[in-house]
Amino acid sequence: MSKTTKTGSLVDAKKMSAELFTLTYGAFVTQMLKDYEDPQVVTAKLDKIGFDMGTVLADDFLAKSANVPRCQDCKQIAEVLSKLAIPNYLGVPATVSNWSSGDREFSLIIESNPLTELVEIPDHLKATLNYSQVIAGAIRGALEALHFKVYAVAVENASNTEIRIKLDSILKDSLPAGEDY
């Protein structure tokens, strides 16, 4: 009989939790497809769910990352998302690529998306269902809670998930009194 160290048990428990989350998310999306019958409606609902989650995660992130400076531009947003937020909340690394439009658009590339690891999306849904839109919605919600209006969309590629992000504006009207960008 082999002994499992506390660290080994913790890793196994985290892996089991991630797998349970993946399976639960898959069942949730499947049920939504049955309920709404339109993959585009399901994508919109996933985006809204993600947005609502993101507004809460923004507070959690700030509470846990007190030493992270306020982002002043899109490059800083991309760096914080790829190096801190995605690894902390999804447990996987992300890289930044595809800069365009005056450094206001970029993509986060997630090579090993935990949401898609144990799922196979049927071919007839691939063109209309953005299965990982909940991640894009969470990013959009978190950034809006931090006074950045962005557009975000998830794109499933053969080997990765790409979250395309475009900075629209800084929401100066909703900044706390005395703060400015």
Domain limits of the chain?
A: 6-174
Residue 3 confidence (pLDDT): 46
Residue 140 CA: distances (Å) to CA of 49, 65, 150, 152, 155: 11, 19, 6, 6, 15
Residue 8 confidence (pLDDT): 56
List the chain pLDDT tens, one digit each, 181 residues: 444 555 556 556 666 577 788 889 999 999 999 999 999 999 999 999 999 999 999 999 999 988 888 888 899 999 999 999 999 899 899 999 999 868 899 999 999 999 988 788 888 998 899 999 999 999 999 999 999 999 999 999 989 999 999 999 888 765 555 555 4
Let me know if domain 6-174 sits in CATH 3.30.1380.20. yes
Residue 103 confidence (pLDDT): 86
How many Cβ atoms sit within 10 Å of the Cβ of residue 181?
Answer: 12
Residue 168 confidence (pLDDT): 92
Q: Interior CA angle at 149 toward 62 and 146, to 5°?
A: 15
Residue 172 confidence (pLDDT): 74
Q: Rounded to an integer, what distance in angstroms lies between the CA atom of residue 167 and that of residue 128?
A: 24
